[in-house]
C-alpha cells in the first residue's frame, strides 16, 4: 500500500482567531466546538442553523483541518455558496480545496473524475427532465402497450415512479400500491421499462438526475481503491437539512464517513415534511442507532418569533410521539399579541377576512411583502386569490401558477367554451389535443372538417362522430363527442357544475392520471372549480367570470411589477422563509391535516410537523382560520370540523375572534 501524503496549500497571513464563545450562544458554541466524532445537531426553527454550520467549518480549519479534507453537503447550491461565503468572511484561509454543494453536484464531480471506472465515456451527458421523459416515451413505445389505451402512464409519470423507487430503495410493486394504485395493472410493463430505460441511458452515454447520486454510490461500493481514497480525503463530513435526506443520500453519507466517523448532521426532526418525494424521517430519528458514539446537541434559542408565537409552536408539535423533544425559547421580547383563532362562516368569508385584515395591517404600516397566506394544498388558495384580485391586493404565488392559469383548469374549461360557442377554434383545438396521437396539425385538420359538418343554433355535436381521426384516437374521440352531447342535450348547455363533472369523469380523469404524477392534487383543483361554478346559473356566466378574473390578474401583475407583494404559498414551499404576519387558512380536518393522513399515525405526525413549520414562519402575528361550512364536491353544504391540531393547543395561547357578517 502506497504511503499517503497530502500537500497543503499556502494561506495568507492569519488574522485574529474567532472568539466562538462571544459570537455564538452557549448551545451553538457547544455544537461548533464539538470534538471529532459523530454528532447530531438538532437545530430548532429560527435558531441559527446556517450560522452554526458556517462557524463549524471555520472552527475545523482554524484547528488545522485542511479545507480539502472537509465535505459540506447541502440541498441547494445557493445554501452551499452562502455558507462558504460566510466562512470566507470569518477566516483568511484559502477555501478552494473544500468540497461544498448539493449531493447531486458532489456525485457529478466524482463521476466526472472517474467516468471509465463507472462505465461511462468521458463527456457523458446529463439529461434534464424533458430529455428523460422523451427517452422514457421511446422506451414505452417498445413495450407492446396498446397505443389506444389512454390509461397507460406517459414517460414523465413513469419517470416519477422510477425516481421514487430508486431514492427510497423500494420495489416497483410496493410503490405502485402506495402511491399509484391506478397503475398497478401495468406493473410488469413498468418494471420492463425500468430495465430498458437503464440500458438506453448506457447506450447514449447519458445519466439522469437520480443517476448523479445512484451511480457514484454504486461506483464507491464496487471499487475498493476509490472508496478508500474518498474516505481518506473526507475526514470531516457536514450535512445540512439532514431530516430531508432519502435512502440514497443517507447511504452515501454513511459510506464516505465509515473510516473516520466524523459525521456531523444538522437538522430539525420537527421540520421533516417531504416523505412524499422520498425523504425518510427515520434517517434523523435513528442516527444515534447507526452512530452509537454520536453526541446530540440541541439548539433551542429562536431569533425569529415572539414568545406568543413560539408558545403555539411548542404546543403544536408536542403530541408527536416520534421526535427529539425540545423547547424553543424566544430571544425576542413579547409584543402582547396572542395568535388569533378565527372561525368563519364559509370559504368566501375566510377569503374576505384575510383580504380585509391584510389591508388593515398594511394601513398600520406593515409592508405587503411582510405578509403571507399559507395553506396545506394549492387549491385551498382559490377563493383568496379571487378576493385579492377583486380588491386589487397584489400578490405572488410560490406554490404554483395562479389558479385559473393552470393547464388542467384551462383544459376542462375548453369543453365548456366550445359547447357554449362552437365557433371557438382555440377551445376546440385544446380539447382534441388531449387525445392520443393528435398534435397541432391533427387538431387543425379536425377543426377544418368539423366546420363542414357541424350545424349551429342549436349545435348538433352528434355530427362530429363522422370525422376522420387517427386509429389510436378513435375510441377517445368517440367518448369526447358523447361527452359534448351530454353537456348540451338538444343543444342546450346544462348547469356549469354538471358540465364540469361530466368532462372530468368521462374524459379528463383518464387523461390526467396518465399525464400528471400529481393528478390527485389537480383533481382537488377541479373539485374546487366545480364548487365555485355552482354560484352561476349558466355556463356562459361562469365562463365570463373566469375570463374577467384571469384578465384582472394579468393587469394586476403587469401594473405592479415593482410593487411589494403578499406571498401566497403552500407550507411545503414556505419552509425556510419568514414573514412578520402569517395567515394559515383552511385549518379544518380533512384539509389540514389532509384527509388521507387521517388513516395512518405516521402520516398524521408528518402533518403535525407541517403545521409546526407553518406556525414558525411567523415573526410577529399569526392568524389561524377555518370555514365552519364547506360546499362539498357533491351538492349541499357540509359542516366543517376544526382541525384536530387546533384542539391540541391550550386555549389560553390563542385569542378567538368572532367575525360578524358586515356588508361585504
So which residues are the catalytic ones? 49-50, 240-241, 271, 617
b/e burial code for range 136-171 (CB count within 10 A of at least 16 → b): beebbeeeeeeeeebebbbbbbbbbbbbbbbbbeee
Residue 296, H or E segment: strand 295-299
Residues 280, 397: Cα–Cα separation, whole Å? 28
Residue 231, H or E segment: helix 224-233
Q: In sequence order, what are the beta bridge partners of 374?
A: 569, 584
Torsion-angle region of 500 (φ positive above 0: left; ψ -120 to 50: alpha; else: beta): alpha
Contact 573, 399 (CB under 8 A): yes
**Closest listed residue to residue 195, CA positions, set 142, 240, 244:** 142
- CB-count burial class (<10 Å; 0-12, 13-18, 19+) for 128: exposed
Q: Please state the length of the chain.
A: 664
- CB-count burial class (<10 Å; 0-12, 13-18, 19+) for 336: exposed
Contact 530, 500 (CB under 8 A): yes
**Closest listed residue to residue 381, CA positions, set 529, 271, 277, 505:** 529
Q: In sequence order, what are the beta bridge partners of 372?
A: 567, 582
Amino acid at each position: 500500500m502506497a504511503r499517503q501524503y497530502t500537500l497543503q496549500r499556502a494561506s495568507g497571513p492569519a488574522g485574529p482567531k474567532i472568539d466562538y464563545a462571544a459570537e455564538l450562544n452557549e448551545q451553538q458554541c457547544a455544537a461548533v466546538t464539538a470534538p471529532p466524532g459523530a454528532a447530531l445537531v438538532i437545530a430548532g426553527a429560527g435558531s441559527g442553523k446556517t450560522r452554526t454550520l458556517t462557524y463549524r467549518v471555520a472552527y475545523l480549519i482554524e484547528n488545522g483541518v485542511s479545507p480539502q479534507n472537509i465535505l459540506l453537503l447541502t440541498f441547494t447550491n445557493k445554501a452551499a455558496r452562502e455558507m462558504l461565503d460566510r466562512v470566507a468572511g470569518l477566516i483568511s484561509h484559502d477555501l478552494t480545496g473544500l468540497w461544498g454543494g448539493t449531493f447531486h453536484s458532489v456525485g457529478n464531480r466524482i463521476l466526472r473524475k472517474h467516468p471509465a471506472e463507472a462505465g461511462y465515456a468521458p463527456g457523458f451527458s446529463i439529461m434534464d427532465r424533458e430529455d428523460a421523459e422523451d427517452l422514457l416515451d421511446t422506451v414505452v413505445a417498445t413495450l407492446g402497450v396498446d397505443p389506444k389505451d389512454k390509461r397507460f402512464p406517459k414517460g414523465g409519470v413513469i419517470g416519477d415512479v422510477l425516481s421514487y423507487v430508486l431514492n427510497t430503495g423500494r420495489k416497483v410493486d410496493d410503490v405502485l400500491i402506495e402511491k399509484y394504485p391506478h397503475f398497478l395493472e401495468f406493473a410488469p410493463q413498468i418494471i420492463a421499462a425500468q430495465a430498458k430505460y437503464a440500458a438506453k441511458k448506457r447506450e447514449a452515454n447519458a445519466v439522469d438526475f437520480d443517476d448523479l447520486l445512484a451511480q457514484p454510490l454504486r461506483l464507491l461500493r464496487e471499487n475498493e481503491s476509490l472508496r478508500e481514497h474518498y474516505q481518506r480525503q473526507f475526514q470531516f463530513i457536514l450535512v445540512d437539512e439532514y431530516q430531508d435526506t432519502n435512502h440514497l443520500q443517507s447511504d452515501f453519507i454513511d459510506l464516505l464517513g465509515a473510516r473516520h466517523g466524523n459525521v456531523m448532521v444538522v437538522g430539525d426532526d420537527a421540520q421533516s415534511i417531504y416523505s412524499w418525494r422520498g425523504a425518510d424521517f427515520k434517517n434523523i430519528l435513528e442516527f444515534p442507532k447507526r452512530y452509537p458514539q454520536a453526541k446530540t446537541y440541541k439548539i433551542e434559542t429562536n431569533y425569529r418569533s415572539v414568545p406568543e408565537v413560539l408558545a403555539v409552536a411548542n404546543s403544536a408539535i408536542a403530541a408527536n410521539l416520534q421526535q427529539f423533544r425540545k423547547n424553543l425559547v424566544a430571544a425576542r421580547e413579547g409584543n402582547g399579541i396572542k395568535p388569533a383563532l378565527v372561525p368563519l362562516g364559509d370559504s368566501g368569508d375566510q377569503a374576505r377576512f384575510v383580504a380585509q385584515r391584510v389591508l388593515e395591517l398594511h394601513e398600520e404600516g406593515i409592508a405587503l411583502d411582510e405578509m403571507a397566506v399559507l395553506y396545506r394544498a394549492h387549491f385551498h388558495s382559490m377563493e383568496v386569490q379571487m378576493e385579492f384580485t377583486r380588491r386589487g391586493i397584489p400578490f405572488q404565488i410560490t406554490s404554483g401558477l395562479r389558479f385559473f392559469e393552470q393547464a388542467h383548469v384551462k383544459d376542462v374549461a375548453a369543453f365548456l367554451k366550445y359547447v357554449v360557442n362552437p365557433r371557438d377554434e382555440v377551445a376546440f383545438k385544446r380539447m382534441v389535443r388531449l387525445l392520443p396521437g393528435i398534435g397541432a396539425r391533427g387538431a387543425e385538420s379536425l377543426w377544418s372538417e368539423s366546420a363542414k359538418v357541424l350545424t349551429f343554433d342549436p349545435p348538433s355535436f352528434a355530427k362530429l362522430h363522422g370525422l376522420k381521426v387517427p386509429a389510436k384516437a378513435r375510441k377517445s374521440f368517440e367518448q369526447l363527442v358523447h361527452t359534448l352531447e351530454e353537456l348540451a342535450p338538444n343543444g342546450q348547455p346544462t348547469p356549469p357544475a354538471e358540465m364540469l363533472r361530466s368532462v372530468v369523469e368521462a374524459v379528463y380523469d383518464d387523461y390526467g392520471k396518465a399525464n400528471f404524477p400529481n393528478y390527485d392534487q389537480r383533481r382537488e383543483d377541479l373539485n374546487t372549480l366545480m364548487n365555485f361554478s355552482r354560484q352561476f346559473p349558466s355556463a356562459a356566466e361562469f365562463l365570463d367570470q373566469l375570463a374577467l378574473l384571469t384578465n384582472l390578474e394579468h393587469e394586476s401583475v403587469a401594473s405592479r411589477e415593482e410593487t411589494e407583494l403578499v406571498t401566497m404559498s403552500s407550507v411545503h414551499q414556505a419552509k425556510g422563509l419568514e414573514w412578520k404576519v402569517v395567515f394559515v387558512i383552511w385549518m379544518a380536518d380533512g384539509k389540514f391535516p389532509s384527509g388521507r393522513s387521517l388513516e395512518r399515525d405516521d402520516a398524521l405526525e408528518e402533518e403535525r410537523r407541517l403545521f409546526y413549520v407553518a406556525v414558525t414562519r411567523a415573526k410577529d402575528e399569526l392568524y389561524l382560520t377555518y370555514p365552519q361550512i364547506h360546499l362539498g364536491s357533491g351538492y349541499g353544504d357540509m359542516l366543517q370540523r376544526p382541525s384536530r391540531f387546533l384542539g391540541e393547543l391550550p386555549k389560553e395561547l390563542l385569542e378567538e375572534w368572532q367575525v360578524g357578517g358586515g356588508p361585504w
